[in-house]
A = this chain, B = another copy of it.
Amino acid sequence: MHTTPKVNRDLFEPNYIQLVRIFQDQISTGLLRPGDRLPSESQLCKNHHISRMTVRRAINILVEQGFVVTERGRGTFVKPIQFWSASFNLNQLRNLLSDENKIKIKILEASITNANDILAQKMKVNRGQRLLHIRRLILSVDKPIIYHREYLLYDPSRPIVESELDVTELKCLFEGTSNSYIKYGSLSLEATVLNDNEARILQIPEATASLTIEHTFFDFEDRPISWGHFICPGLTLTFTTLSA
């Protein structure tokens, strides 16, 4: 028989974090298995000599992290693995683009076009509306890795053309430092096969598999102000995650 660790009030680490870690460890070592009940909150208070709010805080974190579920009147239970709990985030893309020294952004085209039917629908404007069209190539150590096509609302009352042409606009988006016009975005991820034009631009064989991230960004009046695609060929971008 061995005793479980106790919260130590003398450490720098807050008590509730210590308690979270204690349970994470017990779950990951299999000491606590899916379906097992955790000690009740009042028991934990006594065992660790901490208050109820501190215990609840720890348990809430475990709930958010997906390790346990609470059932009122019954107790708190270790959750079984759920395939769905996995989620893919864009951190790999972030890391890819974060190395300032390696990354260059080349403007391939910047022109004014008139909205066709698709654009009119996507940007919620009338057909024929003037739109700014920008095509960029993102290079890492002078090797093309991502191709970006974007259509922007061309609003003469907003002097954004300069800044949007600039590389910084894209970087701001990445870094979240922009005090920009963007309230939120809608992203969509799908698999595509490069056409000959895209393949030539990216300097890789045609018909290569590619991940395409379609984005629409909205301003504070909920109007779309940007619609475009990041085209990330082959293995420049893979998503990895844990399902716990």
Contact = CB atoms under 8 A, between A and B. Distances in A.
Residue in A182, A183, A234 whose Cβ sees the most chain B Cβ within 10 Å: A183
Interface in A145-197: 173-180, 182-193
Contacts of A240: 186-189
Interface stretch (A42-50, A89-97, A126-134, A136-144): A89-97
Given A79-B176, A190-B235, A191-B191, A185 B91 contact: no
Nearest to A212: B191
Given A209-B193, A209-B210, A87 B90 contact: yes
Contacts of A175: 82
A208 B193 contact: yes
A242 B28 contact: no
Nearest to A211: B191
Contacts of A94: 83-84
Nearest to A177: B80
The main secondary structure of chain A at its interface with chain B is mixed
B190 A211 contact: yes
Given A81-B178, A87-B90, A187-B243, 19 more contacts: A30-B220, A34-B180, A80-B179, A81-B217, A82-B175, A83-B94, A83-B173, A84-B90, A84-B93, A84-B94, A84-B176, A184-B242, A186-B243, A187-B239, A188-B239, A189-B238, A189-B240, A191-B211, A193-B193
Interface of A: 28, 30, 33-35, 53, 64, 79-91, 93-94, 173-180, 182-193, 207-211, 217, 220-221, 234-235, 238-244
